[in-house]
Amino acid sequence: MLARLLLRRTTGLSWRLNPPARLVGQQHRTFSSINNHLAFRNSTVLKNQKKDDSEVNDDKKKAEKPTKPEESTEVDPDTQKKDKKKDMGDEEKDIREEIKKRLQKKNPNINLNNIKVYQFDQKSIARFFIGTSVLTILLTMYMLTKNKEKNELSFQDFKINYLEKGLVTRLTVINKFAVQAELIRGAVSDQTFQTAGGTPAVVFTIGSVEFFEEEMKLSQDKLGIPIEERLPISYEERGSWLNYIIPILPTVLLIGGLWYMTMRRAGQAGGGAGGAGGPGGIFKIGKSKAKLFNQETEVKIKFKDVAGCEESKEEIMEFVKFLQDPKKYEKLGAKIPRGAILSGPPGTGKTLLAKATAGEAGVPFLSVSGSEFVEMFVGVGASRVRDLFKTAREMAPAIIFVDEIDAIGKERGNGKMGGNDERENTLNQLLVEMDGFEGSDHVVVLAGTNRPDILDKALLRPGRFDRHISIDTPDVEGRKQIFKVHLSKLTLTADEEIKASQKDLDFSKYQELKAEAIENLAGRLSALTPGFAGADIANCCNEGALIAAREDATSVDIYHFEQAIERVVAGLEKKSRILSPEEKKTVAYHEAGHAICGWFLEFADPLVKVSIIPRGQGALGYAQYLPKDQYLVSQEQFRHRMIMTLGGRVSEELHFDTVTSGASDDFKKITQMAQQMVLKLGMSDKVGHIYYDSGDDGSGFKVHNNYSQTTAKLIDDEVKRLIDDAYDACHTLLTEKLELVDKVAEELFKKEVLTREDMIRLVGPRPFPERNDAFDKYIKGKDAFKGKPKD
């Protein structure tokens, strides 16, 4: 209360928002700008007054003198106080209006009905706290040294100087650590003092009451004092409340100061745009940590920056359009969907799509992660959910985005997931807020997850998350559009070549040629990156720019992007990992076997590159193919892939006396393919057209097989038969092409890297037409992954 009174009486200006206030984070900038505005206004008024006074002529002054008698220089104190209060009221009103304009400009949805203006001076506050601290220290030092000012003496001196001389009349043990000995009248020395009754006395400290009583008994026995004449001992508890308060006062003040600073910082952090909860709550622990984005927030990502998922963008934009113009839909009787789940593999652009929605929504957008609801305190998650929806309803129409909602939305009552009452309470509160008794009109909830299969069924039902938007990995055309977005931000060699070749080119023609160059480059790169998600493509473009910068290049070339693709797919080259000549030769024949099998099998994927340079993921060599984007795989395609995968081991058997462990990963792949064909795809005549579980429920937990031991043996026999058939076909093929295997292996041993053009030169054109349209359009006839161009 004392601090508040001092704040009101000192000079200066500040302002405080009476709830809710979500822009406290802008307080200091607004405060300083208002002070500058007031200072500029006052200085302008003074200048204008001086200018007007100098321009008034003497005749006018003389004419005004008869009509306006000269006023007395003495001013009535009451009138002066009234004028001062009036000026202060006008000034406070101007400041309030100025603050409203500035804050509404920052956030049009803020409530500024109550603005209070306080006066304070930071120097005065600092002097107050410094003075209080100094006074506390002085009081503490006084209390700690007060007992020393009293004339104390040791117990041994007391026995020699007073007890043995018979000067003591009474002993009083005070607070179990000090003894006051009353003396006979006239026994005055430098160590005595007068009690309240005028009796001289001395004081000394003792270790313990038991020790004091024992020593007194021995001393009086030694002096031969009879028991009935021995000194009486009484016990008292003395001291005022100050004796207990003052020693702990510094600690209390320190803790109070830390508490005040923590609460103040928490209030500032929670009331700004980063904390949607506003002031209140112990350390704001129960307040939502959602970040607020609106039309005033600088969000650089727009829908034009999101490519490869046009259908998903249309779905999201429908929510935005409904909130921006609800009457268009309501007049037809339509109701706004409550929410949508964005699901898909990692890196496909779920969060990026949400960021673009925040950048173009035009309505308040609250973003929060699912893990931010989970804390060590019980009940915090549910409290934050309530506060999040309360804030969104106050800002309605608004959008809430919960990233990684599976952190709190896992299925309840599932023993395999483990029990977690706190997480379930948070989920229950989310269910109630989304579709409970209290409506959430004009508040849309978007959520992103990689695992929609583990979410609670009550969360996915219509009325909560009405729509499920699936964002899959892009096809070749989607990858091309994503590459165009990222390539437009880089300095490309093709762009530099256009500028160098045609110096007098007008801007429109230059833009046309640049767009055509980016189109071709994006198409080529999209064909070289099958299965890449949006995040992989962004990483690939960034890696290409980093490789170009590492080589001190002035622009990014196709070579740099190909190096980046290889790094993403196979890892970094391990040039320091030196293979012995025997190992290098074994790896060369192994990879040559893969390459020859893929070259002469009709349904194998087109070969782009084969290398025996060790890579970071443990591969001593690898062959790179370009599978096309397809959603159905035939039985013959499975068979040819298995034959090509076995080519490495068969080549080792044909050219060496022993085999190595290099084919372990190949065996894993063909076993998985054969099991899929038998168990789930019905590609076995003996097992039949039946779907069998593979023993994995998809969540990492093994389950019992849903078939008998007899069926299990039949399945094992069929899997082995498929693999044996593929092995025999591979052995036959490589035996026929043995000379070509030797030729390719020897060339690979020398050069370490062979491209598609090298394969055509060594073994001739592939006898089958390519079945990959993107390959035919962007790669065929052009060498890929050929290495660094020569200067």
Q: Count other Cβ atoms within 10 Å, centred on residue 710.
A: 8
The C-alpha atoms of residue 623 and residue 196 are separated, in whole angstroms, by: 105
596-627 burial code (b ≥16 CB/10 A, e <16): bbbbbbebbbbbbbbbbbbbeeebbbbbbbbb
- Sorted by sequence, the CB contacts under 8 Å of residue 366 that are 6+ apart come out as 276, 288, 290, 291, 292, 293, 388, 391, 392, 395, 398, 399, 400, 401
* Token pair recorded at residue 629: 């984007």
Element (H, E) at 343: strand 339-343
The C-alpha atoms of residue 352 and residue 339 are separated, in whole angstroms, by: 18
Residue written as tokens 């949805």?
109
Amino acid at 612: I
Residue 441 gets which letter from DSSP? Answer: T
The C-alpha atoms of residue 42 and residue 46 are separated, in whole angstroms, by: 6
Short-list 471, 525, 448, CA closest to 310: 471
The C-alpha atoms of residue 58 and residue 71 are separated, in whole angstroms, by: 19
Catalytic residue numbers read 591
The C-alpha atoms of residue 319 and residue 398 are separated, in whole angstroms, by: 10
Q: 700 by DSSP, 3-state: which?
A: coil
DSSP structure string for 599-634: HS-TTSPPEEEEE-S-BTTS-S-EEEE-----S---
Element (H, E) at 209: helix 209-223
- Sorted by sequence, the CB contacts under 8 Å of residue 555 that are 6+ apart come out as 491, 492, 493, 495, 496, 548
- Sorted by sequence, the CB contacts under 8 Å of residue 573 that are 6+ apart come out as 567, 613, 614, 615, 616
Which residues sit opposite 168 in a β-bridge? 183
Q: Assign 3-state DSSP to the chain and report helix, strand, coil percentages, each to 5.
A: 55, 10, 35
Which residues sit opposite 170 in a β-bridge? 182
* Token pair recorded at residue 388: 């999040």
DSSP structure string for 75-136: --HHHHHHHHHHHHHHHHHHHHHHHHHHHHHH-TT---S-EEEE---HHHHHHHHHHHHHHH
Question: In this structure, which long-range contacts are made by residues 16-20, counting pairs with CB atoms below 8 Å and at least 24 apart in sequence?
Answer: 16/115, 16/116, 16/118, 17/112, 17/114, 17/115, 17/271, 18/113, 18/114, 18/115, 18/116, 19/278, 19/279, 19/280, 20/110, 20/111, 20/271, 20/278, 20/279, 20/394
> Do 287 and 270 touch, CB atoms closer than 8 A?
yes
What is the DSSP pairing of strand 443-449 with strand 339-343?
parallel
Q: Is the dihedral of CA 111, 117, 122, 128 positive or negative?
A: negative
> Do 458 and 409 touch, CB atoms closer than 8 A?
no
Distance separating the N- and C-terminal Cα atoms of the chain: 80
Which residues sit opposite 343 in a β-bridge? 449, 470
